Amino acid sequence: LARGGLAQDLAGRHVVISAGGTREPLDPVRFLGNRSSGKQGYALARSAAARGARVTLVAANAALPDPAGVDVVPVGTAVQLREAVLKAAADADAVVMAAAVADFRPETYAAGKIKKKDGQEPAPIALVRNPDILAEVAGDRRRPAQVVVGFAAETDDVLANGRAKLARKGCDLLVVNEVGERKTFGSEENEAVVLGADGSETPVPYGPKEALADTVWDLVAARLS
């Protein structure tokens, strides 16, 4: 699996990556979802495998081919993603939460398709909070040396919001992207800043998602050794 000249600096390590976006069902045919393509998480999985890691990729609704040599665990909802991530994290050296996890899910699931009724306004959809998986993994490290990485897409005050989110989640690294109309979702390219709990700030210039993935693993590998 080695790429030309690339260090096997993750050999012997187990890394867990979540990718894609969760879907929260309303009824058998409808869901609340988001625009995450899964491309960044899959790039992280390919990069980690190329650097020698054993990789578990918890994939939420990503229509992408399984990366070679990677253990792919498909999930649908945030609750399913939590189960799969916590299970895989038990013996992981690093956990990277690249998935877009729905903050809320419909309070009730209708076993039959919701129908409209003549002359009636639609009922509002009641939502409840989903568990915060990143905060849970970071707050309950299965191994003291485990490195926990989050992602955040922000539209305003990107760095200030990123710093606050890093502290709130308790993770070691937070990859912060600025999102807008044409930026990030579904694209092949990304631009980001990786914030460290140690105060570090690593800018990643606009470029392929593979380059951002490699920078994330550089920072993780430095914290593992």
Q: Which residues bind Ca ion (CB under 5 A)?
A: 103
Q: Confirm whether residue 103 is marked as ligand binding.
A: yes
Q: How far is the CB of 11 from ligand CTP (least distance, A)?
A: 26
Integer distance in angstroms from the first to the last C-alpha of the chain?
Answer: 22
Binding partner selected for residue 55 from Ca ion, ligand CTP, none, CB under the kind-specific 5 to 8 Å limit: none
Q: How far is the CB of 149 from ligand CTP (least distance, A)?
A: 8
Q: How far is the CB of 209 from ligand CTP (least distance, A)?
A: 15
Within 8 A by CB and 6+ apart from 4, the residues are none
Q: Would you say 69 or 186 has its CB closer to ligand CTP?
A: 186
Q: 211 φ, ψ to 5°? A: -70, -40
Inter-residue contact 19 to 38 (CB < 8 Å): yes
Q: Would you say 71 or 136 has its CB closer to Ca ion?
A: 136
Q: Confirm whether residue 133 is marked as ligand binding.
A: yes
Q: How far is the CB of 17 from Ca ion (least distance, A)?
A: 18
Q: 68 φ, ψ to 5°? A: -60, 135
Q: Would you say 103 or 189 has its CB closer to Ca ion?
A: 103
Q: Confirm whether residue 31 is marked as ligand binding.
A: no
Q: Residues in the site for ligand CTP, rule: CB under 6 A?
A: 78, 97, 99, 101, 103, 130, 132-134, 150-152, 165
Inter-residue contact 87 to 79 (CB < 8 Å): no
Q: What is the CA radius of gyration of the chain?
A: 18
Cα–Cα nearest to 41, from 71, 22, 16: 16
Q: Would you say 151 or 217 has its CB closer to Ca ion?
A: 151
Q: Which residues are catalytic?
A: 34
Q: Confirm whether residue 124 is marked as ligand binding.
A: no
Inter-residue contact 159 to 185 (CB < 8 Å): no
Which class for 214: exposed (0-12), middle (13-18), buried (19 or more C-beta within 10 A)? buried
Binding-site positions for CTP read 103, 113, 131-134, 151, 165, 169
